[in-house]
Amino acid sequence: MPMDLYFDNAATTRMSEAALEAYIRTERDFFGNPSSVHADGLKAKKELERLRASVASMLSVKKECIFFTSGATESIASVFSSLLFLEPGKAIISRIEHEAVASWLPILSHHGWKTEEVKAKGGFVRCEDLEPMLTPDTKLVGVMAVSNVTGAIEDIASLVRTVREYEKTSRRRIFFFSDSVQALGKIPYSVTDLDIDGASFSAHKVNGPRGIGLLYLKNPSSFRPLSSAGGQEGGKRGGTENLPAIAGFEAALAEWMSDAAAKQARIAAINKMLRNTIASCGLDMLSPEASSPYILSFASPYPSEVFVRMLSDKGISASSGSACSNNAKGESEKIMQAMGIRSDKARNAIRLSFSNDTSDEDAAALASAIKELC
Instruction: Give me the 18-57 binding string for ligand PLP, x by CB under 6 A, dash otherwise.
Output: ----------------------------------------
- C-beta of 100: minimal distance to ligand PLP in Å? 4
Judged by DSSP in three states, 227 sits in coil
Cβ at position 176, least distance to ligand PLP in Å: 16
- Burial annotation 20-51 (CB, 10 A radius, 16+ → b, else e): bebbeebeeebebebeeeeeebebbbebbeeb
Q: Which stretch binds ligand PLP (CB under 6 A): 50-58, 68-76, 307-315, 347-355?
A: 68-76
Identify the sign of the CA torsion 46, 235, 183, 211.
Answer: positive
Cβ distance 342 to 286 under 8 Å?
no
Member of 34, 213, 220, 321 binding ligand PLP (CB under 6 A): 213
Pick the closer one to ligand PLP by CB: 73 or 287: 73
How many residues bind ligand PLP (CB under 6 A)? The answer is 13
Phi-psi sector, 14: left (phi>0), alpha (psi -120 to 50), beta: beta
DSSP string over 168-223: HHH----EEEEE-TTTTTTS---HHHHT-SEEEEEGGGTT--SS-EEEEES-GGG-
Closest separation in Å from C-beta 150 to ligand PLP: 12
Q: Which is nearer to ligand PLP, 71 or 220 (CB)?
A: 71
Q: How far apart are CA 130 and CA 359, in angstroms?
A: 40
Whole-number minimum distance, CB 350 to ligand PLP, in Å? Answer: 17
Q: Which long-range contacts (CB under 8 A, 24 or more apart) does 327-336 make?
A: 327/99, 329/304, 329/305, 331/99, 332/149, 335/95, 335/96, 335/147, 335/149, 336/149, 336/150, 336/286
- Which secondary-structure segment (H or E) carries 6? strand 5-6
Chain center to CA of 297: 17
The residue within the footprint of ligand PLP, chosen from 93, 296, 324, 336 (CB under 6 A), is: 324
User: Closest CB to ligand PLP among 144 and 270?
Assistant: 144
Q: Based on the shown chain and the rule CB under 6 A, indicate whether residue 321 belongs to the binding site for ligand PLP.
A: no
Instruction: Give the Cα separation of 209 and 213 in Å (integer).
Output: 9
Q: Where are the alpha helices (DSSP H) in the chain?
A: 17-29, 39-58, 72-82, 99-102, 104-110, 127-130, 156-170, 191-194, 243-257, 260-280, 304-313, 328-339, 343-347, 360-373
Q: Is 329 in the site for ligand PLP (CB under 6 A)?
A: no
Residues between 74 and 133 that touch ligand PLP (CB under 6 A): 98, 100
Three-class secondary structure of residue 68 per DSSP:
strand
- Contact pattern for ligand PLP over residues 351 through 370, marking x by CB under 6 A: --------------------
Taking the least distance from each CB to ligand PLP, the nearer of 148 and 355 is 148
Q: How far is the CB of 3 from ligand PLP (least distance, A)?
A: 25
Site string for ligand PLP, 164-203 (x = CB under 6 A): ---------------x-xx-------------------x-
The torsion defined by the Cα of 180, 154, 134 and 139, in degrees rounded to 10, comes to 0
Q: What is the rounded distance in angstroms from the CA atom of residue 281 to the CA atom of residue 119?
A: 31
Return the residue of 61, 83, 144, 156 that touches ligand PLP, per CB under 6 A. 144
The least distance separating ligand PLP from the CB of residue 335, rounded to whole angstroms, comes to 11
- Any idea which residues carry the catalytic annotation? 324
- Stretch 296-315: interaction string toward ligand PLP, x if CB under 6 A: --------------------
* Binder among 13, 16, 26, 73 for ligand PLP (CB under 6 A): 73
Contact call for residue 149 and ligand PLP (CB under 6 A)? no
Among the listed residues 78, 138, 148, 304, the single contact to ligand PLP using CB under 6 A: 148
Q: Residue numbers of the site for ligand PLP (CB under 6 A)?
A: 71-73, 98, 100, 144, 148, 179, 181-182, 202, 213, 324
